[in-house]
Structure 1
Amino acid sequence: MICISIAQESRRLVLVDILNAVMLGADMVEVRLDCFEKDPNIGELFANKRKPILCSCRRPEDGGNWDGTEEERLMLLRQAIISGADFVEMEADVADQIRPYPGCKRVIAYTNLKETPADLAEIYEGMLQQKPDVVKIVTRARTPEEAWPLVQLIPKATVPTVVFGLGRPGVMLAVLGRRLGAPWTVAALERGMEAYPGQPTIRDLEQIYRYREIGKGTRFVGVTGLAERDFLLTGLLNAAFVELQKPQRCLPLQVGNPKTFRKIIEAVKLQAVVLDESNREGTHAIAAYDDSSRVPVQAADFLAPTADGWVAQNHFGEAAVRAIEASMPPRENGESPLRGRMAMLVGDTPTVRMIAPSLKARGASLIFACKQREASARLSQLFGGRQILFDALYTTSHDVLIYPGDPQTEEEDETPQSQSHSRGGIHPGYLRPGMTIFDVSQMPRLTPLLREATQRGCAIVDPKTMLVEYARCMVEQIVGETIASEFLREWLSNWVEDDTEENV
């Protein structure tokens, strides 16, 4: 079930939010009694309830707003029980002071806002002795390492157990808990009403993570990363799996320590892992690189399990080349429009090293431009092609520009004047009609470089097109079937507005 937590100051606002939650499809509602400024009048709240209601009244040390006495708080919880609450949350250290009552289920809770304690298993065993109908555990889990004890706890639960990690791994625990039988997870009603940073909304759970469709037969595919592109890629993959009637669904992950990450992906028995941009290098501690092709894999975006362990592969390059080809005029003879073209690759980055082999396979001639001569030389020797220094790209003829982006630091000048001379590190006067520009550093959004290129008559690789092609490539690798581009484009249009004409 999906529970929406409501933390309003008045009965009127609570009743409005309860109605909105029901309309959005919530299965149950949590009413935070500690947030009321005046008497909550519990009887009125329950008079016309349409969904099961969970009542809580949290102390400040548990993340709540209660400012009355402890005895008053316990009396309020007892009142909620006898007034018809379906569930009442009570902390483990006071649960013995509140007797069980027919018709109301006891949610025994443990909250630790500072850490995930090492003795969590012992704490959980103690909670099982307090006559719980549901056990709820909330801890600080900022990294996969901190979340690991929670991951271990979920499959061992002997009573219905809800586990929350306050931090980046929180969504992973919610999705994983669904497959393992957790009775519910908590979502925000909408953006701006999150209880903690990163908490999903009910729309996120239903349309991105496909929470309701997850069951014991679900086969998880890990997707790492916290950027918008990783969030949308998760939604695209899940939409494709549903359309193709496949049992796979995505499990959002963060890498953290490679050894702990490997423990998690093996414990969950992931079918594959899609790596985000920040984790495409340094995976040697997790997997061996797949060197079956003539060109060695220099960075990887995909981990696949084999009989001998995990293998790292590069599929980003193929998706990128597909998107580049889609932006160029087709040839009558059916050859790739990249054949015979000069492709300028800027910088020594994972993006460049992943795209270079696929460009070469299409017959493009490669030119590597780096600010350090040694980097250009290394790439040229590795992949074949010319080498130049960065400034020479302005005087070197080429048809396609592969630019991985150059994020601006806080110290850099952000005035319009400085931006006009440094659109993503490229002088705007260099851009000319007939060039094709590839820059997905802000995918699925247009970058300043792409906006400038459009105004100057260049062809650009639409970042949304790139994201769709990448999702299609991943689907092919995971389930061995093809999903239509049009289907994924339509899905994406519901999440990302079209900024091509409006803002360029």
Structure 2
Amino acid sequence: MICVTIGRGRHSSLIEEWQAAAKAGADLAELRVDCLRRDPDLKRILAERPTPIVFTARRGPDGGLWRGNEEKRLQLLREAIALGVEYVDLEHDVAGKIRRFGKTKRIVSYHNLKNTPADIQDVVEECEKLDPDIIKIATNAPTLADASRVLRLGETGKFPTIPIAMGESGVFTRIFGAKFGSPFTYAGFNPERVFAVGMPQFGELKNDYNYRRIDDRTEIYGVIGDPIGHSLSPAIHNAAFRELGLNKVLVPFQVPQGGLESFLTDTTWLGLKGFSVTIPHKEAIIPLLQQKENAVERTGACNTVVVDAEGRRCGFNTDYRAAMDSLEVGMGSVEGSDGPSPLVDKQVLVLGAGGVARSIARGLSRRGAHVTICNRHDERSTALAEEVGCRMVTWSQRATVIADVIVNCTPVGMHPNVDDTPLPPSAFQRTGIIVFDTVYHPEHTMLLKLARERQAVAISGVDMFLRQAALQFKLYTGQDAPLDVMRATLKRKLGPLRED
């Protein structure tokens, strides 16, 4: 089940939003009466119940807005129980003061906004002594290791447990709880009201993660990077899984630079079947692979890892093929043609020196293009240029390069920094230049807008993203990707940011 959290300042607004959530398909609603600016009128609030509820009056130290005294709050909780609410949230330090009554189920909760204590298992054991029906553990998890410890509580607890690791590192705990017996998870409903960092919206859980389909047999896949919140890989892969009736889910893992080995260690128990690799890990993952395809060896970058039946990590590079196909088709080549590449003898400026840039630069070189590398850090440009066997220019010189093709492999212009561009207008010294931006979110980046204004041919990163995702899907499942479904999902997700 998905429980939407609703907290408004006015009774009428609370009830109205609750009704809207029910109409949208919410299974359960957590009513945060601590958000009300006036004393809660429970009889008014509970007169008509469009969904079952979790009744919550959260204190300030636990992340709430309760303004009254503690005895008044406890009396309010008792009144809600007497009125027969389906669930009541009782903090572990007060649960012993409120006895069980009627059919109301007791959620004994522990909140820690500072950290995830080393003795979190002891906290769970204390909660188990307080006559719970459900135990909820919500702690701040600054690291993936902390988040993993929290999620694992759902696997080991004596009572149904809702494990929540707050923060960007813990998003996956809100999704995987169902796999480990969590009776429900919490979601936001109104995007303008954020109750906890990392809490997904109801629509995301329902549509992007197929939450209601997750069970103990669901296979887990991931996408790793930092930042990772912008990634649309979960939405398109999960739509494809759903279309083909596959019991799989792909979720984001925020893995900071230098954190790959910890990620692999901390998530071993989850049994990941594979994961997509994005910035900044496409090169760093290679030494941690047990097997790798030739494209990884050739490009020095890996964007896809599949874990085989023996637990070996096998690396692939679907960026390489997808980028070359997108660029050549965008330049007028017929897909699948055996003819010469339109890139032969073209002067190509590649912006960036990371994993994507390495893959594309090598692909361009193999197709007979004359490549120039440019990156903010000259030493990285020099290293990649020597590796590929091409020239480099400094970042300050990038606008002076006369190129037939420009390829942006940097994250400049990526959501949310949509007004940024890696090139100034002066870089477009003549018409007819081909400009390929590997950024796909938003679809129409500032770089591509500048290109169109100056009569250049603009190639969006959306096509490359879909192509590489389809290749990943085949590696994950052994089946051809439902490309139309993936494309429609991507267009829907990009919709609010698309500008022509």
How much has 1:468 moved relative to structure 2?
1.9
Q: Which amino acid aligns with 1:27?
A: D
Q: Is the 8 A contact 1:163 1:174 kept in 2?
A: yes
| 1:367 is the counterpart of 2:365 | no
One of 378, 381, 384 as aligned partner of 1:379: 384
Deviations 1:87-121 (A, max 9, x none): 01111111111111121101101111111000000
Give the structure 1 partner of residue 260 of structure 2. Answer: 258
Report which stretch shifted further, 479-488 or 31-40: 479-488
Q: Which amino acid aligns with 1:260?
A: S
Give the structure 1 partner of residue 129 of structure 2. Answer: 129
SS in structure 2 of the partner of residue 466 of structure 1: helix
Query: Structure 1 residues 148 and 134, CA, compared in 2 at 3 Å: closer, same or farther?
Result: same
SS in structure 1 of the partner of residue 176 of structure 2: helix
Give the 5 Å matches for 1:386-401. Answer: 386-390=390-394, 398-401=403-406
One of 318, 321, 339 as aligned partner of 2:324: 321
Query: Structure 1 residues 373 and 123, CA, compared in 2 at 3 Å: closer, same or farther?
Result: closer
Query: Structure 1 residues 388 and 87, CA, compared in 2 at 3 Å: closer, same or farther?
Result: closer
Partners of 2:324 and 2:286 in 1: CA distance? 26
Q: TM-score, normalised by structure 1?
A: 0.89
Shift >4 Å, 4+ stretches:
226-230, 331-334, 371-377, 390-398
Report which stretch shifted further, 25-34 or 218-227: 218-227
Q: Is the 8 A contact 1:338 1:359 kept in 2?
A: no
Query: Structure 1 residues 392 and 45, CA, compared in 2 at 3 Å: closer, same or farther?
Result: closer
Q: Percent identical across equivalent pairs?
A: 27
Partners of 1:490 and 1:124 in 2: CA distance? 44
One of 468, 476, 479 as aligned partner of 1:478: 476
SS in structure 2 of the partner of residue 26 of structure 1: coil
Give the structure 2 partner of residue 176 of structure 1. Answer: 176
Query: Structure 1 residues 42 and 336, CA, compared in 2 at 3 Å: closer, same or farther?
Result: farther
How much has 1:71 moved relative to structure 2?
1.4
One of 290, 293, 297 as aligned partner of 2:292: 290
One of 436, 439, 448 as aligned partner of 2:437: 439
How much has 1:269 moved relative to structure 2?
0.5
Partners of 2:235 and 2:463 in 1: CA distance? 15
Q: Is the 8 A contact 2:399 2:426 kept in 1?
A: no
Query: Structure 1 residues 34 and 228, CA, compared in 2 at 3 Å: closer, same or farther?
Result: same
Q: Is the 8 A contact 2:144 2:170 kept in 1?
A: no
How much has 1:186 moved relative to structure 2?
0.8
SS in structure 2 of the partner of residue 279 of structure 1: coil
Q: Is the 8 A contact 1:143 1:168 kept in 2?
A: no
Give the structure 2 partner of residue 411 of structure 1. Answer: none
Q: Which amino acid aligns with 2:438?
A: V
Give the structure 2 partner of residue 217 of structure 1. Answer: 217
| 1:335 is the counterpart of 2:339 | yes
Please, which runs of 5 or more residues in structure 2 have no aligned partner? none
Equivalent residue pairs, number: 489
Query: Structure 1 residues 29 and 398, CA, compared in 2 at 3 Å: closer, same or farther?
Result: same
How much has 1:438 moved relative to structure 2?
1.5
How much has 1:54 moved relative to structure 2?
0.9
| 1:353 is the counterpart of 2:355 | no
Q: TM-score, normalised by structure 2?
A: 0.89
Partners of 2:110 and 2:66 in 1: CA distance? 17
SS in structure 1 of the partner of residue 106 of structure 2: strand
How much has 1:237 moved relative to structure 2?
0.8
Query: Structure 1 residues 430 and 65, CA, compared in 2 at 3 Å: closer, same or farther?
Result: closer
| 1:425 is the counterpart of 2:427 | no
Deviations 1:252-279 (A, max 9, x none): 2122433331123321111101112233
Q: Is the 8 A contact 1:368 1:379 kept in 2?
A: no
Query: Structure 1 residues 498 and 330, CA, compared in 2 at 3 Å: closer, same or farther?
Result: farther
Partners of 1:37 and 1:450 in 2: CA distance? 48
Give the structure 2 partner of residue 450 of structure 1. Answer: 448
SS in structure 2 of the partner of residue 316 of structure 1: helix
Report which stretch shifted further, 201-210 or 240-249: 240-249
One of 388, 396, 402 as aligned partner of 2:407: 402
Give the structure 2 partner of residue 86 of structure 1. Answer: 86
Query: Structure 1 residues 37 and 429, CA, compared in 2 at 3 Å: closer, same or farther?
Result: closer
Q: Which amino acid aligns with 2:407?
A: I
Q: Is the 8 A contact 1:223 1:230 kept in 2?
A: no
How much has 1:495 moved relative to structure 2?
2.0
Report which stretch shifted further, 14-23 or 437-446: 437-446
Query: Structure 1 residues 294 and 226, CA, compared in 2 at 3 Å: closer, same or farther?
Result: closer
How much has 1:63 moved relative to structure 2?
1.1
How much has 1:396 moved relative to structure 2?
6.2
Partners of 2:334 and 2:160 in 1: CA distance? 61
Q: Which amino acid aligns with 2:262?
A: T
How much has 1:484 moved relative to structure 2?
4.5
How much has 1:196 moved relative to structure 2?
2.0
Partners of 1:30 and 1:200 in 2: CA distance? 15
SS in structure 2 of the partner of residue 240 of structure 1: helix
Q: Which amino acid aligns with 1:278?
A: P
Partners of 1:55 and 1:40 in 2: CA distance? 12
Give the 5 Å matches for 1:132-147. Answer: 132-147=132-147
Partners of 1:48 and 1:240 in 2: CA distance? 39
SS in structure 2 of the partner of residue 135 of structure 1: strand
SS in structure 2 of the partner of residue 497 of structure 1: helix
